[in-house]
Structure 1
Amino acid sequence: MDTKKDVQQQFGKSADSYVSSPIHKEGKDLQKLLQMVTATGEEELLDVATGGGHTANAFASIVKNITAVDLTPEMLVAAENFIKGNGHQNVRFLQADAENLPFSNEAFDIVTCRIAPHHFPNVNQFIKEVYRVLKPNGQFLLDDNVVPEEELFDHFYNAIEKRRDYSHFRAWKKSEWLRMLELAGFEIYEWHRFEKTFRFDPWCNRMNLSQDEKDKLSEYIQGSDPKVKDKFRIVIEENQVVSFQGEAIVLKAMKR
């Protein structure tokens, strides 16, 4: 089974839990994205891999129109119910692949993508597509989980994400994001590092893990290198993982 079918299968059954997920709904990273954007109220915005629709919902009141796309039909239904339930009528919903966007060149003023690119099997193709559909001086607002530069930490975080969610492809390093974007022609305008606390049970439950799968993942984390436990602030109580800390990058890149 390929990664994109994995994504559809995983998120098709998890759509509603992503709409209600506090880490997606209430993250400070979303407020930072709103602070970073330059908007007059006349912009056409594309939200790629909209998921539960939180980003599109947050931006709906500050731009003219939003096109929200996702690979998974069930996600689009959940997002539409959420956004229209909040009274926004300027968002349209479309099933589309982030690596093959069905839009003409220079169609949008702003592109957003939040907590999704770690699922994309060809992230460079996604970046090229964002660049293509943006107007000159267009803004790309990116927000995704990243890994530290050290290989041990990179391997650990990607390993636990893959064990939790087989549709996870790769969380990239901060340096990799900056490099990929600049090589595609973007200028990095502003970026921030965010710390994220993941509570183990809700993190597993969002992907509908069985108790046996949760126990095995907890054992794997508890058996990790002491440096890893320290770096990721892993909290263990009564032989169970309670929480750990990850990180995300939030950035604004400009098409010049």
Structure 2
Amino acid sequence: MGKSSKEQFGAYAEAYVTSNLHAKGKDLFILEQLVKERDYQSIIDIATGGGHVAKKLAAYAKDIVAVDLTPEMLAVAKKHLSDAGINHVQYVEASAENLPFEDERFDLAVNRIAAHHFINVTKFLNETYRVLSKEGRFFLLDNVAFEDDVVDNAYNELEKKRDGSHVRAYKKSQWISMVEQAGFTVKHMHTFEKPFLFQDWTDRVQFTSTQKQELSSWMNQLPASVKDALCIKEDHAGVHSFKGQSILLEAIKG
């Protein structure tokens, strides 16, 4: 049985603060540009992880709450933001599927690079809808699977082999459907190419050399069509890099 998200991120919290994939990225830049368009009274960063969203958006609201299931992650996020001089963020230990806030508490909600770990995405979306005020904005940023079923299955199996807390990266079409079923109106969706460097990607979860070799060999044996779709590149040591996709989806509460 794989690790739970709480166990996984408790063990590797610091690595997610320093990870370039989490700390930087075009998605984070575009998120800030979109958030700048309006004024907000209160912001919730759901599954804050290393605190990168809360840090980026802290200038746009005095009332900002960072939520995470893992106390170790909240501790490193708080230190990360405090070291940057950001001291007005409230940190709350809670599940994304069970947010401890009253209805319509926030007018902006963000969830970034986390939903693929959630057991119950429907409940997460319903909870996000509940805590947002009418016409509140919701930004979902996450890795997504390809629409092709074979590539979808291979990518999700790859993620699961590397991280036992991975549940599912959904297709773009599935996200649009699920978000709309929760009551939101989808306004925009940006799609990004997401490059992964194999060594960094496996180092972040403290893979041993043997584990890296086994995963690299498994990737090498994937069908050619899947390897092409994921742009798997190899060098003398095995897999060097591959590419996935991620999205930034903007939705409004009706």
Query: Common fold, TM-score beyond 0.5?
Result: yes
How much has 1:199 moved relative to structure 2?
0.1
The C-alpha deviation readout for 1:73-131, integer Å capped at 9, x for no partner, is 00000000001111112201010000000000000000000000000011010000000
**CA distance in 1: counterparts of 2:11 and 2:37, whole angstroms:** 35
Which residue does 1:198 correspond to in 2? 196
Instruction: Give the Cα–Cα distance (whole angstroms) in 1 for the partners of residues 235 and 36 of structure 2.
Output: 45
Amino-acid identity (%) = 45
> Any unmatched runs of 5+ in structure 1?
none
Q: Helix, strand or coil for the counterpart of 2:10?
A: helix
CA drift of 1:64 comes to: 2.1
Query: Residue 185 of structure 2: which of 183, 187, 192 is its match?
Result: 187
Give the partner amino acid of 2:117: H
What corresponds to 2:58 in structure 1?
A: 60
1:66-81 aligned at under 5 Å gives the runs 66-81=64-79
> Aligned partners of 2:40 and 2:155: how far apart in 1?
40
Say whether 1:159 aligns with 2:157.
yes
Partner of 1:176: 174
Rounded to whole Å, the distance in 2 between the matches of 1:84 and 1:92 is 12
Secondary structure of the structure 2 residue equivalent to 1:189? strand
Is the CA contact 2:36–2:60 (under 8 Å) kept in the aligned structure 1? Answer: no
1:20 equivalenced with 2:18 (yes/no):
yes
Is the 1:199–1:243 contact (alpha carbons within 8 Å) kept by the matching residues of 2?
yes
Aligned-residue RMSD, C-alpha: 1.2
- Distance in 2 between residues matched to 1:188 and 1:41, nearest whole Å: 20
- How far off is 1:238 after superposition? 1.5
Give the 4+ runs in structure 1 shifted more than 6 A. Answer: none
CA–CA distance in structure 1, aligned partners of residues 12 and 31 of structure 2: 25
Q: Which moved more, 1:153-162 or 1:41-50?
A: 41-50
Decide whether the 8 Å contact of 1:53 with 1:83 is kept in 2: yes
CA distance in 1 between partners of 2:39 and 2:174 (Å): 33
Q: Give the Cα–Cα distance (whole angstroms) in 1 for the partners of residues 35 and 15 of structure 2.
A: 28
Specify the alignment match of 1:251 in structure 2.
Answer: 249
Where do 1:37-116 residues align within 5 Å? 37=35, 40-116=38-114
Q: Is 1:37–1:139's contact at 8 Å kept on the other side of the alignment?
A: no
Displacement of 1:37: 2.2
1:213 match: 211
C-alpha contact (below 8 Å) 1:15/1:74 kept by paired residues: yes
Quick one: distance in 2 between partners of 1:41 and 1:180? 27
Q: Does 1:7 align with 2:5?
A: yes
Supply the distance in 2 between the matched residues of 1:59 and 1:247 (Cα, whole angstroms): 24
Unaligned runs of 5+ in 2: none
For 2:198 and 2:237, the matched residues in 1 are separated by 13
Q: Name the SS of the counterpart of 2:193 in structure 1.
A: strand
> Could you tell me how far apart the structure 2 residues matched to 1:38 and 1:187 are?
20
Moved more, 26-35 or 133-142: 26-35
Q: What TM-score, normalized to structure 1?
A: 0.96
The letter for the 1-side match of 2:246 is A
Does structure 2 conserve the Cα–Cα contact (< 8 Å) formed by 1:36 and 1:252? no
Question: Could you tell me which amino acid in structure 2 is paired with residue 186 of structure 1?
Answer: F
Between stretches 166-175 and 231-240, larger displacement belongs to 231-240
Counterpart AA for 1:94 = V
Count of residues paired in the alignment:
254
The separation in 2 between residues aligned to 1:237 and 1:38, in whole angstroms, is 42
